[in-house]
Amino acid sequence: MRAAIEAHDSGADVALLSKIHPVRSHSGAAEGGINAALGNASEDDPDKHTFDTVKGSDYLGDQDAIEILCYEAPEDVYQLENWGAVFSRTEDGRIAQRPFGAAGEPRTAYAADITGHVLVHVLYEQVMKRDIPAYEEFFAWKLVVDDDRCQGVIAWDLVNGGLKTIGAKTVVLATGGAGRLYVGTTNAYACTGDGMALALRAGVPLKDMEMMQFHPTTLSPTGILITEGCRGEGAYLLNSEGERFLKDYAPNAMELASRDVISRAEQTEIDEGRGIDGSVLLDLRHLGAERIIERLHGTRELSMTYALIDPIHEPIPVRPGAHYHMGGVDTDVWGQTELTGLYAVGECACVSTHGANRLGGNALMETITYGRRVGQHAADWALTHTTVAVPESQQTDAERELEALLDRSKGERPWAIRDELATTMHENFGVFRREDQMKKQGKIVEKLRERFENVVVEDKGTLFNNDVTQALELGFLLDLAECMIPAGIERKESRGAHARPHDYPDRDDENFLKHTLTRLVDGKVELDWKPVNITKYPPQERTY
Catalytic residues: 259
Half-sphere exposure of 157 (CA within 13 A, CB side): 13
Q: What string marks each residue from 18 to 57 as x (binds other proteins by CB under 8 A) or -? A: --xx-xxxx-xx--------x-------------------
Does 64 engage in binding with other proteins (CB under 8 A)?
Answer: no
Number of residues that bind other proteins (CB under 8 A): 65
| Residues 116-135 close enough to bind other proteins by CB under 8 A | 116-118, 121, 125-126, 128-129
Cβ proximity of 21 and 186 under 8 Å: no
Among residues 43, 69, 103, which one has the least CA distance to residue 535? Answer: 69
CA–CA dist 210, 499 (Å, integer): 10
What minimum distance in Å lies between the beta carbon of 82 and other proteins? Answer: 5
Q: From the list 271, 412, 458, 526, which residue makes contact with other proteins (rule: CB under 8 A)?
A: 458
Q: Which of these segments, 74-82, 140-148, 236-244, 320-328, binds other proteins (CB under 8 A)?
A: 74-82
Peptide bond between residue 221 and the one before it cis (omega within 30 degrees of 0): yes
Does 467 engage in binding with other proteins (CB under 8 A)?
Answer: yes
CA angle (164 as vertex; 160, 168 as ends), nearest 5: 135
Does 381 engage in binding with other proteins (CB under 8 A)?
Answer: no
- 399 alpha carbon, distance to own chain's centre: 30
| Residues 280-309 close enough to bind other proteins by CB under 8 A | 289-290, 293, 298, 301-302, 305-306
Q: Which of these segments, 76-84, 266-274, 480-488, 495-503, binds other proteins (CB under 8 A)?
A: 76-84
Residue type, 436: D
What minimum distance in Å lies between the beta carbon of 476 and other proteins? Answer: 16
Cβ proximity of 330 and 338 under 8 Å: yes
CA–CA dist 428, 450 (Å, integer): 20
What minimum distance in Å lies between the beta carbon of 224 and other proteins? Answer: 5
CA distances from 218 to 60, 124, 222 (A): 25, 28, 8
Does 523 engage in binding with other proteins (CB under 8 A)?
Answer: no
Backbone angles phi, psi at 287, to 5 degrees: -75, -25
Among residues 163, 157, 165, 76, which one has the least CA distance to residue 122? Answer: 76
* Nearer to other proteins among residue 137 and residue 479 (C-beta): 137
CA–CA dist 539, 511 (Å, integer): 13
Q: From the list 167, 461, 501, 538, which residue makes contact with other proteins (rule: CB under 8 A)?
A: 461
Does 408 engage in binding with other proteins (CB under 8 A)?
Answer: no
Cβ proximity of 74 and 35 under 8 Å: no
465 contact partners, CB below 8 Å, separation of at least 6: 156, 158, 161, 459
CA angle (540 as vertex; 347, 333 as ends), nearest 5: 30
Peptide bond between residue 352 and the one before it cis (omega within 30 degrees of 0): yes
CA–CA dist 326, 60 (Å, integer): 10
Q: What string marks each residue from 172 to 191 as x (binds other proteins by CB under 8 A) or -? A: ----------------xxx-
Does 88 engage in binding with other proteins (CB under 8 A)?
Answer: yes
* Nearer to other proteins among residue 94 and residue 492 (C-beta): 94
| Residues 92-121 close enough to bind other proteins by CB under 8 A | 92-96, 111, 114, 116-118, 121
Q: From the list 153, 225, 322, 532, which residue makes contact with other proteins (rule: CB under 8 A)?
A: 225
Does 71 engage in binding with other proteins (CB under 8 A)?
Answer: no
* Nearer to other proteins among residue 131 and residue 392 (C-beta): 131
Q: Which of these segments, 46-54, 60-68, 330-338, 461-469, binds other proteins (CB under 8 A)?
A: 461-469
Please report, as ranges, the residues that interact with other proteins according to CB under 8 A.
20-21, 23-26, 28-29, 38, 75, 77-79, 81-84, 86-90, 92-96, 111, 114, 116-118, 121, 125-126, 128-129, 159, 188-190, 221-222, 224-225, 289-290, 293, 298, 301-302, 305-306, 312, 413, 415, 457-459, 461, 463-467
